[in-house]
Structure formats: structure tokens, C-alpha cells
Amino acid sequence: MGSTLGRLEARDPIFKRNLNKIKKVGKKMSTEENEQAPVAPAEAVAPPADDDGEWGFVGGMDETVVHDDRLLPDNTAVTAINCGFVGVGGGGGKLAKAFMDAGFNKTILVNTTDKDQPPGVDGAHFLNVPGADGVGKDVALGKKVLSDNSALVEDACRSRLGKLDWLFVLAGGGGGTGSACHALHGAFSRYLKSLEGEGAVVYIVSKPSAQELLNPAIEENYTALLADVAAHPHIVIDNERQLQLLRGKVGMLNMFPSANATFAKQLGQVFKLADTASDISAFDANDLERCLRTPGRIFVGSTVVKDTSTRDLGASVFQGCLKGSPCPAPTGKPETGMLLLLVTSAMANDPDVSNRLEAAAAYVGGRANTLFQGVYVNDKVPGLIAFVMFGGMN
């Protein structure tokens, strides 16, 4: 093709002239296209290293955390478990105050009326649930009001109690608000789970006295509450037994406050001993948690044995704990058992007493599938002090 155009260009001057014009136009178009063509972008240049931006995140998690100003003070009571208390209703609130007085500051009182707020309780510990000015012993209404406000109660636990492993819910078995407390079980469980609590919810329920149970509404309320908590770890406090233990010792005005204070100290001592070292035998936090975690009813009792020379020391310890307990007597074959003994140095060094203490452990241990034991030396005790706990009962 190239040689043919050359011969035509040489022979025909007109053809040559036209061909030159075509070449000039083509060259011009090529130049314009090159001028209009987009310029390829230069390769992106990495910005200089920003040391602050690259490493500024280090330590960001170490900065001071802003705490909720509603958080209650830590417990001053010595305890092996990280625990708090929620009193629901009038009776539950009064029992909760006894634990506050014993040094368990992680305590709140929940009620449907502020008229039952015990005197001397700071407002930071009290939550008045809206929706009713009391429920008039109507458990159905109490459950509705508490269910409708479960998120409020859950938030109060999270913001005021903070991170806990164990939550003890206290309630009177005769009223409408306290007997409805199980309606909040989901809220209590979510609260513990949301903060990675490793324990469980334990209920402490007071059984109305024999005279109170003559009222059909009170009896029905107590029966309903007992059925609600039956599948959970729970302690029943028998008000009739408490009245018998304290009658003639305190007046009517101080009867239940004294009973509540005694029980709070009793349970608090068990929590404290589980945090106490022993050169003989220790009952530790894991043992305590095993006793508390087992579903079913829990019995707690204590006694002082002045004469340790008796041959039937095991029976004396066991029967003394039964008589000195506000709880109904153990039934069936408990899943777990606990025996804690406080002895003086003289007792611990006496071979005969030591043998009788071993017999006492066997006597109590034979009544439970699993026995946990602790022996502590304390020269300030007025005699042999024993604590017994059984768990997992129907």
C-alpha cells in the first residue's frame, strides 16, 4: 500500500497536494487530541507517619472511668462472697434494714408505697415503684405493678448496687408487694448476668406467725410466694419461732427488729467465717457458694455449748442449732450440709474434746449428702459456738 501511494504522488501533482493537506489535518487533530486527553494522576504519596494517630489508642482504656454517682458504698461487713440485698415490700424492707445495719451497704428497698420506708433509711437505698400506693395485700396487683416496672428495678440494681455475684431478695410472706417479689426474678437474673455475676438469686422469705395465718388472705399470699420460690435457693424465717425465742426478752415494739438483727448477724457470721483462715479446717468461699447455689430450701442455725465434756456433743450441737434457729426444722435428706465450730485454744488442745468434736461432725454430716466443715480457734468465745446449714431441701 505504501509503494502504490508513492507512485501516485510522484506522477500526479494534484494528488500530491491533496495528500499533503490530509496529512496536515491529521497532524492537527492528533495534536488537539493529545492536548485534550486527561493527564494520568501521579502516584499517591503516603502521608508522613503520624505517631500520635498510630499509637494514640494505647492507654485509652486506662483513663479514669466516670462512675455513676448513684452507686452505693461498698459493704463494710467482712464476707467471702460479693453480695447485695433487695428488700421487697414492708416486711422485706425491714429485714433489709437489719442487713444494712450489719454493714451490708449494698442494699436497696423496693416498695409500692413510701409509707413503709423504715426510719433511718437514706433515700439512696429506697426505690418507690410507681403505679399504686400500696397493693392492699393483692398479690395479683402486686405482680402487675412490679412486672410493669421491672426495668426500673433492674436499672436501680445496676446503678446502685453495681457488680455483684450474689443477690439476696428479702420478702414478707403475708403482704401483697413482698409476696409478689418473684415477678422481678427475670429482672434480678438479667442484672446479675449483664454484669457477669457468678452467683445466683437467693430468696429469704418470712413466714407469718400462727395468729397472722388465721387470716385467709395472708395464708394465701404466703402459700403463693412459697410456691414461686420453691425451685430457687431460699431460706424461710418462721416468725412464730422468732416470737417464741424472743418472748419475755424484748418488748412488742422491738420484737421483730431484734429478730431481724439476730438473723442478719447469724447469716453475716457464716459469710465472715468463710473468709477466715484456719489452721485446723477452713470453710471457704467455694464451699459457701455450693451451699447457697443448690436449689431448694436452706436451713441456718447456731448455738453455744458451754459444757464440752458431754459425751453426746454431736447431739447437743445439732439440737442446739435447731432450737436456736428462726428457720423451720430440716426435712428429708439435705443435699448439702455445713458445720462451723469456734473453739478456744484449750478445747483445740484437749484430746478428749477433739474426739467429741469429730463425733459431732459425723453426727451432723450423716444427715446430708455432702458436708462442708470449718474449725476456727478463738479464745474470746464464751463456749463452743456452732453454726449449721443445710441446703437443697424440698
* Per-residue model confidence as pLDDT tens digits over 29-83: 555 555 555 555 555 555 555 555 666 666 655 555 444 578 999 999 999 999 9
Is residue 392 within 8 Å of residue 294, measured between CB atoms? Answer: yes
**Helix or strand or coil: residue 339?**
strand
Is residue 89 within 8 Å of residue 114, measured between CB atoms? Answer: no
Is residue 94 within 8 Å of residue 87, measured between CB atoms? Answer: yes
pLDDT at 65: 47
* Per-residue model confidence as pLDDT tens digits over 361-370: 999 999 999 9
What is the distance between the alpha carbons of residues 285 and 20, in angstroms, rounded to a whole number? 105
Domains annotated for the chain, with CATH where assigned, are 81-273 (3.40.50.1440), 295-394 (3.30.1330.20)
pLDDT at 184: 98
What is the distance between the alpha carbons of residues 376 and 268, in angstroms, rounded to a whole number? 16
pLDDT at 132: 86
Q: What is the pTM of this model?
A: 0.82
| Nearest residue to 376 (alpha-carbon basis) of 270, 304, 276, 265 | 276
Is residue 146 within 8 Å of residue 181, measured between CB atoms? Answer: yes
Residues of the chain falling short of pLDDT 50? 8, 65-67
* Per-residue model confidence as pLDDT tens digits over 160-208: 999 999 999 999 999 999 999 999 999 999 999 999 999 999 999 999 9
**Helix or strand or coil: residue 132?**
coil
Question: Going by DSSP bridges, is the β-strand pair 384-393/296-305 parallel, antiparallel, or unpaired?
Answer: antiparallel
CB-CB neighbours of 1 under 10 Å: 5
Sorted by sequence, the CB contacts under 8 Å of residue 91 that are 6+ apart come out as: 171, 172, 173, 174, 175, 178, 206
Question: Going by DSSP bridges, is the β-strand pair 336-343/370-377 parallel, antiparallel, or unpaired?
Answer: parallel
CB-CB neighbours of 365 under 10 Å: 17
What is the distance between the alpha carbons of residues 22 and 51, in angstroms, rounded to a whole number? 62
